[in-house]
Amino acid sequence: MKLIYLLLAHDQPKQLRRLVSALNCDDVAFCIHIDQKASLAPFMIELAGMPNVQFVDDRVSVNWGGFSQTEAIMRLMRTALAYWPDSKRMYLISGSCYPLASNTQLLATCDTDDQLIKAKFFKPGTPRAERASRYNISDHPYLNKRWVNMARERTDRNVLLELQQYIGEFLEKLPPKPDLGMPFHGGATWWGLTADAVRYVLDYCDQHPAFVDYFRFSLHADESMVHTLIANSSFPIKKGMKAFHYVDWSPASIARKKYLDVDSLDKVDWVSQLFIRKVHPDLSSALMDRIDERRAAPDQVVWGTYGD
């Protein structure tokens, strides 16, 4: 297999099947991590009979902002390399993503050594850098802001908020972590790395546990740990690289949990954006139908010609 899609999902099994069906073609395979908090059975039923699909066995209970998401990503990487050691490139995407680029063009990215990852340098002391340099324990549900905010009906919500404030004030008084030893970089969680770069990340983390520990008690390590390693390596990042997903951050979109609808079609950049997110099987069905039509058109290879 030339191209492996690493998929993080926690809900919407039918949408995951539609995503896999859209990306499925010769020379591709799918490695899927389902949040341990979700039942695996519905996803296995939906994807039964789909070729070249492998689920991660040792699943992680993923918490927003916590290192658990990075751990899930690393388990995806390890599983994919174990099953397809001769692959060329891997794309990390979520179950709520959908492709804009054609499968032909996505496969063509296997023919370049460029790393498709947004990795921006952040100076020490900036808020983004302090997400990692300061201690954070978002993997504990009582201290996870999103988990508590979702528990608005809980009678103990005020107690949890007070606990968060107390622990937060304690963590802020701790001295910064030891120096990382390399310039800190960050960007969007999602990337398209060569298999050699994925192997390098895993080998480095295995050989430098202190580096992993630096990010283990940080906020949103999924947006910085891999990015920092690649940016400080000899692997070339595509020049002018930007996030290759279209995401709508408008207030109206955020109010509806950023699910896209057919009105989003006129806002995407078919040349530089390879995927969109977030989609919903019902709210975004018309949008995905239109995208499918464009991806199947005779001139499909011009779409997603990233950076050209």
Element (H, E) at 70: helix 67-83
Both 78 and 11 in one domain: the answer is: yes
Same domain, yes or no: 108 and 193:
yes
Q: Are residues 50 and 192 in the same domain?
A: yes
- Residue 55 in any domain: the answer is yes
Is 248 within a domain?
no
Cis peptide before 278 (omega within 30 of 0): yes
- 152 pLDDT band, cuts 50/70/90, is low
pLDDT of 236 > 60? The answer is yes
Last residue of a domain, one of 210, 243, 276: 243
Residue 165 lies in domain? 135-173
85 assigned to some structural domain = yes
Q: Is the pLDDT of residue 303 over 50?
A: no
The answer as to whether 24 is a domain residue is: yes
In a domain, 283, yes or no: no
Mean pLDDT computed over 252-265? 77
Task: Tell whether 114 and 149 lie within a shared domain.
Answer: no
Q: Provide the whole-model pTM.
A: 0.90
Domain co-membership, 47 together with 191: yes
Mean pLDDT of 66-81: 97
Q: Where are the strands (E) in 51-143, listed by range?
A: 53-55, 89-94, 97-99, 120-121
pLDDT at 103 over 80: yes
Do residue 167 and residue 52 come from a single domain? no
Number of domains in the chain: 2
The answer on 141 and 73 residing in a single domain is no
Whether 263 is in a domain gets the answer no
195 shares a domain with 99: yes
pLDDT number for residue 143:
67
- Is 125 exposed, middle or buried (CB count within 10 Å of its CB: 0-12, 13-18, 19+)? exposed
112: in domain? yes
For residues 115 and 239, membership in a common domain is answered with: yes
The conformation of residue 48, written as its DSSP 8-state character, comes to T
Is residue 266's pLDDT more than 90? no
> Is pLDDT at 74 greater than 70 in this prediction?
yes
- For CA atoms 60, 64, 67, 72, the dihedral sign is positive
Q: Does 289 reside within a domain?
A: no
**More reliable by pLDDT, 1 or 25:** 25
Which stretch of 15-29, 60-74, 259-273, 280-294 has the lowest confidence by average pLDDT?
259-273
Backbone torsions φ then ψ of 55, nearest 5 degrees:
-90, 145
Task: Note whether 166 and 112 are same-domain residues.
Answer: no
- Residue 308 has what pLDDT? 45
- Weakest-pLDDT range from 23-32, 141-150, 237-246: 141-150
- The answer on pLDDT for 153 being more than 70 is no
| Per-residue model confidence (pLDDT) at position 146 | 63
> Which of these ranges, 29-43, 101-115, 200-214, 268-282, has the smallest mean pLDDT?
268-282
Residues 167 and 23 in one domain: no
Q: Per residue in 172-188, pLDDT tens?
A: 777 778 889 999 999 99
Q: Looking at the predicted structure, is the pLDDT value of residue 205 above 90? A: yes
CATH number of the domain that residue 51 is part of: 3.90.550
Asked if 58 and 151 sit in the same domain, the reply is no
Best mean pLDDT range from 159-168, 235-244, 256-265: 235-244
The mean pLDDT value for 98-104 works out to: 94
Question: Tokens 């908020």, residue?
Answer: 161
Average pLDDT over residues 217-229: 95
**Does 227 score more than 90 pLDDT?**
yes
